[in-house]
């Protein structure tokens, strides 16, 4: 039986707790400095409430922790958890800077514990199937990846920590772009970004951001000093290009593009809608272009993805080894490198060379 603790009792921590229960992992305890939130989380998920991170990390019955706190606390808490001998599932982004990523990696290395990055999109059923197809060589060498995640109205808690650069590190790029940057490199096994071009902008203000329905309530009078729209082109050392289109808010028609990847190879292509139960595959039959629909076994793609992430973490806790395909700390650092290069390219209005 795997026992975990949750650090943070916010939006995503609730999803982690539900997922843990679904796959048979026990959530033993939670900590959140907002007492009321921690208490209601404790009663909802049937776990103890600890008054501090330290008290949670001292517990012998906890094998691993999920860290689901604002981005500026990732490094400090991940390092404390690893030093306390706990395996760690760390929400994305890994940290606020490369230096913080390196400090986390050092703590992982000296503790000998598992550090798994919360790159949950890797476990979307469509992403898993696409990776298999690419690894079987069915679309040949990958030439280009177009990665898209465009929300019409989806700024998380405008005015709160997500939209405050000093707490989040950035806007939609560091919030949702991270998933696509990781996924593109993971699915294609191309992890050598060489040149990075980026364009970031804030298209909305607290005054122009209106909506009929939203899943996250703005914080009255808060800070909004981060981007809500990003475009980027990354070229890797093999010449493969990765195009990124991400938004928290746009005037595009609703659902005009599905979340996912369009992958073009020398022999074929894949359209990967992350939350679908099918993939579209393009290929040539004696030179004649064909389209095939590949059906995938899906229960609920979103829940399946979280189940996959948590099963990998439970298996890692049981074996003491990170499971193949799970996000490593090095993957988290690599994504941070690309993110920093995109921000630098935007600021300096030049292409950034990484290698």
**Binding interface with ligand NAD (CB under 6 A):** 7-13, 31-34, 37, 53, 68-71, 73, 91-92, 118, 120, 175
Nearer residue to ligand NAD within complex by CB, 32 or 331: 32
Nearer residue to ligand NAD within complex by CB, 142 or 183: 183
- Is the link from the previous residue into 93 a cis peptide, with omega within 30 of 0? yes
Distance, in Å, from the CA atom of 330 to the CA atom of 66, rounded to the nearest integer, reads 18
CA distances from 257 to 185, 211, 246, 319 (A): 21, 19, 11, 40
Nearer residue to ligand NAD within complex by CB, 11 or 350: 11
Q: Give min distance, CB of 328 to ligand NAD, in A.
A: 16
Nearer residue to ligand NAD within complex by CB, 77 or 142: 77
Structure tokens at 87: 């395996």
Q: Give min distance, CB of 254 to ligand NAD, in A.
A: 20
115-118 and 268-273 strand pairing: unpaired
Q: Give min distance, CB of 60 to ligand NAD, in A.
A: 20
Q: Give min distance, CB of 124 to ligand NAD, in A.
A: 11
Q: Give min distance, CB of 69 to ligand NAD, in A.
A: 4
Nearer residue to ligand NAD within complex by CB, 100 or 240: 100
Structure tokens at 27: 């959530």
Q: Give min distance, CB of 7 to ligand NAD, in A.
A: 5
Q: Give min distance, CB of 94 to ligand NAD, in A.
A: 10
List, in order, residues 6 or more apart from 5 with CB less than 8 Å away: 27, 28, 29, 30, 31, 50, 56, 57, 59, 62, 64, 65, 66, 86
List, in order, residues 6 or more apart from 193 with CB less than 8 Å away: 185, 234, 235, 236, 242, 334, 337, 338, 341, 354, 355
Nearer residue to ligand NAD within complex by CB, 32 or 346: 32
Nearer residue to ligand NAD within complex by CB, 31 or 131: 31
Nearer residue to ligand NAD within complex by CB, 154 or 268: 154
Query: What torsion do the CA atoms of 185, 191, 192, 193 make, to the nearest 10 degrees?
Result: 30
Give the number of residues written for the chain: 355
Q: Give min distance, CB of 235 to ligand NAD, in A.
A: 27
Distance, in Å, from the CA atom of 178 to the CA atom of 115, rounded to the nearest integer, reads 17
Sheet containing 48-49: order of strands? 48-49, 26-31, 3-7, 64-67, 87-91, 115-118
């Amino acid at each position: 039986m795997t026992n975990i603790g949750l650090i943070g009792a916010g939006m995503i921590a609730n999803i982690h707790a539900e997922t843990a229960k679904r796959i048979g992992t026990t959530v033993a305890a939670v900590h959140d400095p907002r007492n009321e939130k921690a208490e209601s989380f404790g009663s909802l998920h049937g776990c103890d409430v600890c008054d501090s991170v330290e008290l949670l990390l001292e517990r012998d019955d906890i094998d691993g922790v999920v860290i689901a706190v604002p981005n500026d606390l990732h490094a400090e808490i991940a390092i404390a958890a690893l030093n306390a001998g706990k395996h760690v599932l760390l929400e994305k982004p890994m940290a606020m800077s490369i230096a913080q990523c390196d400090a986390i990696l050092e703590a992982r290395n000296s503790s000998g514990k598992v550090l798994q990055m919360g790159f949950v999109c890797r476990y979307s059923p469509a992403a898993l199937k696409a990776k298999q197809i690419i690894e079987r060589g069915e679309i040949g060498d990958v030439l280009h990846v177009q990665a898209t995640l465009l929300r019409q109205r989806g700024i998380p808690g405008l005015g709160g920590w997500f939209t405050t650069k000093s707490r989040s590190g950035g806007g939609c790029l560091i919030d949702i772009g991270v998933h696509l940057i990781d996924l593109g490199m993971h699915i294609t096994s191309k992890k050598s970004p060489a040149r990075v071009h980026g364009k970031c902008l804030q298209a909305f203000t607290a005054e122009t951001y209106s909506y009929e329905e939203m899943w996250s309530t703005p914080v009255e009078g808060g800070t909004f000093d981060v981007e809500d729209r990003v475009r980027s082109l990354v070229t890797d050392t093999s010449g493969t290009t990765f195009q990124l289109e991400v938004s928290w808010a746009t005037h595009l028609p609703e659902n005009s593009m599905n979340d996912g990847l369009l992958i073009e190879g020398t022999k074929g292509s894949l359209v990967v809608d992350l939350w679908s139960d099918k993939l579209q595959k393009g290929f040539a039959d004696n030179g004649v272009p064909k389209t095939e629909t590949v059906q995938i076994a899906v229960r609920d793609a979103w829940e399946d993805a979280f189940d996959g992430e948590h099963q990998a973490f439970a298996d890692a806790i049981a074996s003491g080894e990170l499971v193949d395909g799970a996000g490593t700390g090095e993957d988290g650092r690599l994504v941070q490198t690309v993110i920093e290069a995109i921000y630098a390219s935007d600021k300096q209005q030049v292409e950034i060379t990484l290698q």
